[in-house]
Structure 1
Amino acid sequence: MRVRLNLTSVVFAWVAGLTAPATGATPVPVTTPEAAPQDAPGGKTALPDTNQGRCVRAFLDMIADPTPPRVEAFELKHRSAKRLSEVPMDERVRRAREIRDRMGKLTLTEVSSADDDAVTIVTTNERGDAVELQFLFDTAQDRKLDGIRISLGPAPSGPAAPLSEATREELVEAVARAVSDHYVYPEIGVKMAEAVRAKLKSGAYDALKDDASLCRQLTDDLRAVNNDRHLGVRPEPRAANRGDGPGVDEIAGDNSGFRKVEILPGNIGYLRFDAFVKSEQAFRTATAALGFLEHCDALIFDLRHNGGGDPESIRFITSYLFDAPTHLNDMVDRSGRVVEEFRTLESVPGRRLAPGLPVFILTSAYTFSGAEEFSYNLQNLKRGTVVGEKTGGGAHPVRGVRVSDRVVVGVPFMRARNPITGTNWEESGVQPDVATSADEALERAAQLAHEAIKARKEATKAPQSG
């Protein structure tokens, strides 16, 4: 059985330096209503006339054209002092530009909720996917902006559907059955089902009047039992059904997620790619990039912006680093049965990289899912040094379970199991060998690479005994 790690919801927070999922879209302005329009059926499209609402509007205006003066003006006016002190302004400018470049055109379609602590809006991108932005405000700092959580997923077809009491009860029960019957850990699936049933019985969902609001609350309540970031409930009308959600190849956009390949000073190879895409184009691009780096003296993989992808792509790229068959990972179902073993390929296009070549992997808190597997595999095989931040902690492949004509549950149904550790990185994340901020990871890895190259050269010059 082949396993594809589809991304039912790509989530990131622009709080302390995380960046957007790779869409590869052409940079175009974000569009927002010029004036406060009438409420659309199923949701409001006017931002509140409050400091929080004005912050959201300012962000959308700024991200349409994130020049340094515009970014700085937004940050100084709206960001909390605590967050401002954490990241230099030039880095904030870079991140704003990257969000603009990757997300492309966004059209505001709904203001889902607005209160003192948070404002949630829904926009639609050029591919028709919904992009939800949740702006979080710090109650301890005059409700200045603390962070922005962005979720990318399939666009709902039409406005949110109103819920009757009977429909709400049926939907909660269907979600409960989905996690109880399909979640990778049966006992935890039962606990999650019991949790949402108890909330339903207590009246916790009575105030939620449409399916979109209920889906968001159910996602939060399920994750409160077991913080599985692959798990989620989403509106997806049957007519708009796209399977398990946007595939990683769609999210990666142009060039199959590959962003940059170069030789750094000291003959250190550098390769940044933001998704593990399974396609002939992606494999050809990987082969070309690794061929370009074939004669480097050390290699840095930059996965700080990589949110995951397909295990076949992980296997393909990893195979260039081993000259003998190597067991990488297993996929285990909810019964404990090994569904598939992943080992390096017997042959690869072009030439494998030199055995013993020093390898470094850059990570951030955004590094997730398949990108974590790549890092975890090389770390435990002693084939690479992880430099940066602890990763996001998602090790469970997910599939969509339809529970109504309008709602799908993304249920993690298998788990990765490393043949060396016997476990995985779920929730705990991949712990870096060399901990540093994501912003400083490249510089630190380059220093380590220079040291490793020097040590190897000195070792070859050392006189042989005997």
Structure 2
Amino acid sequence: MTFFRFANAPIAAVALMLAALPGLSWAQQPTKTDTPEPSAVLSPAQADAAFQAIVAELDRSYVFPEKLPTIRAALHQAKAAGRYDVDTPSVFAERITEDMKAASADGHLYLYYAPAESAAAKTSRAEGPKPGDALDTFLRAQAARDHHGLSDARLLAGNLRYLRITGFEWIEDETGAVYDDAMRFLRDADAIIIDIRGNGGGSHAAVRYLTSHFMDSDQLLFTFLKPGEPPKQSHTLEHLPAGRMKGKPLYVLIDGGVASAGEDFAYQVSQFRLGELVGERTAGSANNNLLVPVDPGFMLSVSYGRPVHAVSGGNWQGTGIAPTVPAESSTALDVAQSLALKRLATRPDATPRQRAEYAWAQIGLEARRHPPAVTVARLKTLAGRYGQATVTFKNDALWLSTRPGGPTRRMTPLTEDGLFAIEGNEMLRARFTSAGLETLWRGDPNPRRFPKK
């Protein structure tokens, strides 16, 4: 997780989002609600002071002292060349970030301009944010606007349940309840899909809370190491209001935008074999980082520690985490759905009704992934009267009305042999046969037949 260093406590660090354990954080610059004024100008004196403060913080806190000479030399060389002689704070931050990352290959080294966040961090007390103080207010407001990082929950065909987590935010005594609601939704699924594509990080406390639902209690996850301090451990939690989901089929969507605490969750899934990782290799940023306010209005991220996993004895720094099911990021959800449906259909305890539902869902999914080729000429031949139903052709598509005066809905081909979806009703499909038209309701093995007139 991320830590702050406070102006009135140069050695103290307290956890972002009030988490109690050290953990993993943002390897990519987080999206901030704090938007700088367009008129903000960085003077040469301010730029020089910021530069000196950044170098001093690196010397004081960076976890890999052997890399410091290279980083320091790169920054001083760029400064001497005039690279930082700019008056726009965001440009200054971008250039410092680019040079630190190029010299260190560390995704947790970055600088960003966020005046409100920086001011809040500077004015908080030495022991950390307290209810009602500036930093606490800032973090709580951000988490509330983001719904604590849980941005989407959906019921997919076949009783697959989907959860999108854009960031692992954590506010003590608040975020857990948000996760509890999400876990209650997921626990009744036949299979679970958790989408962390593009998740750049956050708090290990949130990752631990989520991971605990898929594991036994009190299992060691990580030992966190920081020079000069005793090791600290993180275990799965004992009490979970929504209960555990051990053994539930789990599919986690990943890509190159997944970093830090996002990778923390993917790594737990990989090392403890909790499910499949579907998508692309992650970024490879494992170190713990400290967030330090730097005048005027900057926040500096510095790696200060590293996690050691209970299973691997290491972490994913520099290598990332490989998917178990490779897929392009843009298609990962469809690939995960298809794989989940196929596996569910082969389970020995699946009922005939469940298998029919999985097959129904698979047809629709495959049609979306690989749209069938049905020509306009073929569509025109299918238009006509079928009993009391009418199929019309307009705008290069077929439209169905099952009774006179009833609603007319667009028909979309699902297969090349005459099966169609009905727009706006996932429970209903239509199939053209040699005898006419059939309408099929999901879960009902008996179609309704309309003879062609």
Q: For the superposition of Structure 1 and Structure 2, which TM-score range results when normalised by the shorter chain?
A: 0.5 to 0.7
Query: For 1:319, which of 209, 212, 231 is the aligned residue?
Result: 212
Q: CA RMSD in A?
A: 3.3
Deviation at 1:227, TM superposition (A): 2.5
The C-alpha deviation readout for 1:296-355, integer Å capped at 9, x for no partner, is 2221111124332211111111111113432222322145x55421111112113211x3
For 2:25 and 2:199, the matched residues in 1 are separated by: 14
- 3-state SS in 2 of match to 1:233: strand
Give yes or no for contact 2:192–2:249 (8 Å, CA) kept in 1. Answer: yes
- 3-state SS in 1 of match to 2:259: coil
Which position in structure 2 is the counterpart of 1:374? Answer: 265
For 1:252 and 1:306, the matched residues in 2 are separated by: 17
Give yes or no for contact 2:162–2:193 (8 Å, CA) kept in 1. Answer: yes
Give the TM-score of the pair, scaled to structure 1. Answer: 0.60
Give yes or no for contact 1:186–1:334 (8 Å, CA) kept in 2. Answer: no
For 1:231 and 1:251, the matched residues in 2 are separated by: 23
For 2:310 and 2:279, the matched residues in 1 are separated by: 24
Q: Is the alpha carbon distance of 1:229 and 1:247 closer, same or farther for their aligned partners in structure 2, counting shifts above 3 Å? A: farther
Instruction: Tell whether 2:160 aligns with 1:255.
Output: no
- 3-state SS in 2 of match to 1:366: coil
Which position in structure 2 is the counterpart of 1:230? Answer: 108
Q: Is the alpha carbon distance of 1:229 and 1:456 closer, same or farther for their aligned partners in structure 2, counting shifts above 3 Å? A: same
Structure 2 portions without partners, runs of 5+: 1-19, 123-134, 352-453
Mapping 1:376-395, distance limit 5 Å: 376-395=267-286
Instruction: Tell whether 2:40 aligns with 1:162.
Output: no
For 1:214 and 1:344, the matched residues in 2 are separated by: 41
Deviation at 1:235, TM superposition (A): 4.6
Give yes or no for contact 1:180–1:192 (8 Å, CA) kept in 2. Answer: no
Deviation at 1:396, TM superposition (A): 2.4
Give yes or no for contact 1:416–1:423 (8 Å, CA) kept in 2. Answer: yes
Instruction: Tell whether 2:22 aligns with 1:3.
Output: yes
**Paired letter, 2:214:** L
For 1:419 and 1:390, the matched residues in 2 are separated by: 21
**Paired letter, 2:233:** E
- 3-state SS in 2 of match to 1:400: strand
For 2:144 and 2:322, the matched residues in 1 are separated by: 25
Give yes or no for contact 2:222–2:308 (8 Å, CA) kept in 1. Answer: yes
Larger Rg: 2
Query: For 2:66, which of 172, 187, 202 is the aligned residue?
Result: 187
Give yes or no for contact 2:27–2:107 (8 Å, CA) kept in 1. Answer: no
Which position in structure 2 is the counterpart of 1:444? Answer: 335
Mapping 1:49-448, distance limit 5 Å: 127=33, 129-130=34-35, 155=36, 159-164=40-45, 171-201=50-80, 203-205=81-83, 207-208=85-86, 212-235=90-113, 241-243=119-121, 247=139, 250=142, 253-279=145-171, 280-334=173-227, 339-353=231-245, 355-404=246-295, 407-448=298-339
Q: Is the alpha carbon distance of 1:278 and 1:401 closer, same or farther for their aligned partners in structure 2, counting shifts above 3 Å? A: closer
Structure 1 portions without partners, runs of 5+: 12-20, 24-126, 131-154, 461-466
Number of aligned positions between the proteins: 318
Q: Identity over the aligned pairs, expressed in percent? A: 25
Give the TM-score of the pair, scaled to structure 2. Answer: 0.61
**Paired letter, 1:380:** Q
Q: Is the alpha carbon distance of 1:9 and 1:156 closer, same or farther for their aligned partners in structure 2, counting shifts above 3 Å? A: farther
Q: Is the alpha carbon distance of 1:269 and 1:162 closer, same or farther for their aligned partners in structure 2, counting shifts above 3 Å? A: same
Larger displacement relative to structure 2 (390-399 or 315-324): 390-399
